[in-house]
A = this chain, B = another copy of it.
Amino acid sequence: MGRTSDAREKILTSARRLIELNGYSPLGVAEICKAAGVPKGSFYYFFESKEALVRAVIDEEWDEERGGWKAILDGDGTPLERLRRLFEATAAEQRAGQQSCGTVSGCLFGNLTLELSNRTEPVRARLQEIFDAQVAMVRAVVEEARERGEVTVADGDAAARAVVAQIEGQVLFAKLYNDTGLLDTMWANCLALLGASPPARADAA
């Protein structure tokens, strides 16, 4: 066991990978520590329970993902260009995961929502915060696009939620069919949901 900070990070990394592969329930502390290369005793030094671990995994994943979303959505370009880049980044992440694991592992937050939200209220509450934050970030860009007359939506919040729901639904299919090609339709669907111009009519964007 190296420095304690290394051990905690190794446990989180291994747990993240195992949760991606098999979900939360089958995960065992012994298996995590073996994969992380740390003594089993060190687990409870850092995490009081498996639930505390999964919450730390969720927090770390969202810290990283939120940074990526922020960089894209606060970046250069028109609102729709930035939103499009977010969809491309989402698809690229799923393709990278497929290349490293052999299968599409899907969205960690979506996976844990369906597996855990009815079983542990703290996990449900944290996942709600994360999806609320995602919807708020998409909504801000949608409102910007609306001010520019590029989209026509009656309710910015509902529209942003529909966009995030479409991502979750299509990522579910990409996982089921182990086929990231299914994500290629996400952007056209997003434009349709927002009442924006279809991609073929770039002149109207």
Contact = CB atoms under 8 A, between A and B. Distances in A.
Q: How many copies make up the complex? A: 2
A119 B24 CA distance: 12
A180 interface: no
Interface string A100-117: 000101100011011111
Contacts of A158: 185, 188
Nearest to A175: B117
Contact of A193 (B119, B168, B192): B192
A30 interface: no
Is chain A's binding surface mostly helix, strand, loop or mixed? helix
Interface residues of A, number: 46
Contacts of A193: 189, 192-193
Interface of A: 21-26, 103, 105-106, 110-111, 113-119, 124, 127-128, 131, 158, 161-162, 164-170, 172-173, 175-178, 182, 185, 188-189, 192-195
21 contacts: A22-B118, A23-B23, A23-B116, A23-B119, A105-B118, A110-B172, A114-B114, A114-B175, A115-B115, A118-B175, A128-B177, A158-B185, A162-B170, A162-B185, A162-B189, A165-B166, A165-B170, A166-B166, A167-B169, A169-B169, A192-B192
